[in-house]
Every structure is written in C-alpha cells, then in structure tokens.
C-alpha cells in the first residue's frame, strides 16, 4: 500500500479532515477533531498510526513484525503499521476502519 492510497481511503470517511503535525512531520486525519490515523515515516519507511483496543494492539504486535507500539501516542492504544511490510492492504483497511470506529465512539462519549 502507498501513502496516496491510504490518504484517499481515510479522506473518503464521512467527516474526515486532514491536517499536518509539523513537529512530528505527520499528516493527521481526524473526524470531529478526534484523531483516527496519522501518516508518517518511521525508520525511513512509510507508516500509519492507528488506534485499537489494548488487547487487539497486543495481538497484532505479537502476530506481525510490521506493527509496533507508536512512538508519539499512547502505546497501549496506538500502533504504527508499516505500509511497505507484510500486511495485506485488506488488513490495513480493516485496521483503519476499526480506528475510525474508535474515534466515532470517543466523539460520541463512548470509551
């Protein structure tokens, strides 16, 4: 997956807005001011940071070498996923969808 495809997918979500976090050299994608994806480079590789439940984050990190705890956000909930690694595009899209749903839950007062 490339960054352009990932950004297009994220920006097609209802209410998605894009901004730049200059300190982290990252593109943030939010819904109603709640972050659900952050596109950046890590170790010179294209990556996206996505939010999940802590249990799913642990499971993903154990199962995939291309998923790591995020370097800037809460490591229990946020994982960095390398876009040029072994994960299939469909797996990355699933994780984006899950992160978007978490953001909607947060926005509406859920967990």
Range of the structural domain that residue 35 is part of: 3-104
Write the pLDDT tens digit of every residue in 68-87: 999 889 999 999 999 998 99
**Helix or strand (DSSP H, E) at 106:** helix 89-107
34 inside domain: yes
Number of structural domains in the chain: 1
User: What CATH number does the domain containing 54 carry?
Assistant: 3.90.1150.30
62 inside domain: yes
Radius of gyration of the chain (CA): 13
Tell me the C-alpha distance between 73 and 76, whole Å: 9
58 inside domain: yes
Locate all alpha helices (DSSP H) within 24-88, ordered by sequence. 54-63
Please state the pTM of the whole predicted model: 0.91
111 inside domain: no
Write the pLDDT tens digit of every residue in 27-61: 999 999 999 999 999 889 999 999 999 999 999 99
Tell me the C-alpha distance between 68 and 62, whole Å: 9
* Residue 53, CA distances (Å) to 43, 75, 81, 111 in order: 25, 11, 15, 10
């Amino acid at each position: 997956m490339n960054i352009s495809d990932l950004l297009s997918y994220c920006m097609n979500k209802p209410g998605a807005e894009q901004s730049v976090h200059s300190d982290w050299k990252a593109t943030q994608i939010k819904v109603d001011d709640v972050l659900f994806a952050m596109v950046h480079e890590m170790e010179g590789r294209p990556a996206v940071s996505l939010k999940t439940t802590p249990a799913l984050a642990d499971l993903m990190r154990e199962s995939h070498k291309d998923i790591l705890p995020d370097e800037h956000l809460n490591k229990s909930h946020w994982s960095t996923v390398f876009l040029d690694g072994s994960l299939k595009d469909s797996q990355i899209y699933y994780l984006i969808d899950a992160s978007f749903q978490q953001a909607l839950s947060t926005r509406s007062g859920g967990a």
